[in-house]
Amino acid sequence: MRILASFAGVRSEMGGAPAALVPTMGYLHEGHLSLVELARKTSDVVVMSLFVNPLQFVQAGDLDRYPRDLDRDAGIAESAGVDLLFAPSLEEMYATPPRTRIKVDGVADGMEGAYRPGHFEGVATVVAKLFAAIRPAVAVFGRKDAQQLAVVRRMTADLSFPVEIVGAPTVRAEDGLAISSRNVLLDSAQRAEALTVSGGLFAAAGAVAKGERSAGKLESIVADEVGAGGARLEYVTLADAAEAEPIDVLDREAFLAVAAHVGGVRLIDNVVLWPDGSADLGTRLEGPSILGRT
């Protein structure tokens, strides 16, 4: 595996071969590794980018608290089979302070967009830069960030980037919690509270399997479970999978998305639901994390 800090270096190492890109903010976990595995199925060259993008952080302190460890990440990326690890400095990514932002209307407005104004402009802008500068054939994103996936798909189509967007299932820890770089910030009592988020979503998916289709009812199931555990619910919304807009009835592919605060940590999670009663809850690790933390 080569570690590169410049766009030119990545392109020259790619040598024109079609590559799959896995964009990340680092502090790698099994969720990221599943993206690499999927990327490998599509392409001979797998490029992972690792950049904590200040443009997408909107909450004071969140950027500073974000965990970072390049040496650890490089070891994990190499054993996962990443060919090229692109870890640019802030100056390489934003050589001049950017005055251009990519704004995706509608898809980016609700849920995360409503509670974190400007967040998706930061995401869409950095992803567009990665696509333009690295020119991957494929890019893999996690469904854990379902609205982000919808925003990236729409931005890619609207700007005619010749990149195939692949969505990867959410990877969960053994106890059901969606794996996130932020989970290391939870103590054990907070982790128990955090489990009401995934637990609420699983209960809602169970209700769908039994015939429930009302968004209001599904949202209440999650809100009740999260509220009972003590976490502070920010939103729970049933949204159209492609448009990321709220729907009243589960009559098409949708995701039920939650954001909640546990201690000082903001967690998001979702399950994908279909009107035939089926659901995609993601995949669970069968044992403790091989990385020693989830």
Residues making contact with ligand AMP (CB under 6 A) = 24-25, 31-32, 34-35, 141-142, 144-145, 168, 170-171, 178-181
Q: Which is nearer to ligand AMP, 22 or 207 (CB)?
A: 22
Q: Which is nearer to ligand AMP, 31 or 110 (CB)?
A: 31
Contact 257, 147 (CB under 8 A): yes
Residue 73: phi, psi to the nearest 5?
Answer: -60, -40
Strands (E), the chain: 2-4, 19-24, 45-50, 84-86, 138-142, 164-168, 171-172, 232-240, 254-262, 265-273, 279-280, 283-284
DSSP bridge pairs for 20 = 46, 138
Rounded to whole angstroms, the Cα distance separating 36 from 112 reads 25
Q: Annotated catalytic, 261?
A: no
CB of 168 to ligand AMP, least distance (A): 5
Q: Which is nearer to ligand AMP, 21 or 208 (CB)?
A: 21
CB of 65 to ligand AMP, least distance (A): 14
Q: Which is nearer to ligand AMP, 186 or 207 (CB)?
A: 186
Q: Which residue has the tokens 């128990």?
A: 192
Comparing CA positions, the residue from 246, 200, 207 lying closest to residue 223 is 200
CB of 25 to ligand AMP, least distance (A): 4
CB of 211 to ligand AMP, least distance (A): 29
29, 32, 119, 261: the active-site residue = 32
CB of 214 to ligand AMP, least distance (A): 28
Contacts of 172 (CB under 8 A, 6+ apart): 178, 179, 198, 281, 282, 283, 284, 285
Rounded to whole angstroms, the Cα distance separating 23 from 139 reads 8
Q: Which is nearer to ligand AMP, 168 or 195 (CB)?
A: 168
Rounded to whole angstroms, the Cα distance separating 190 from 272 reads 25
Catalytic positions, written as ranges: 32
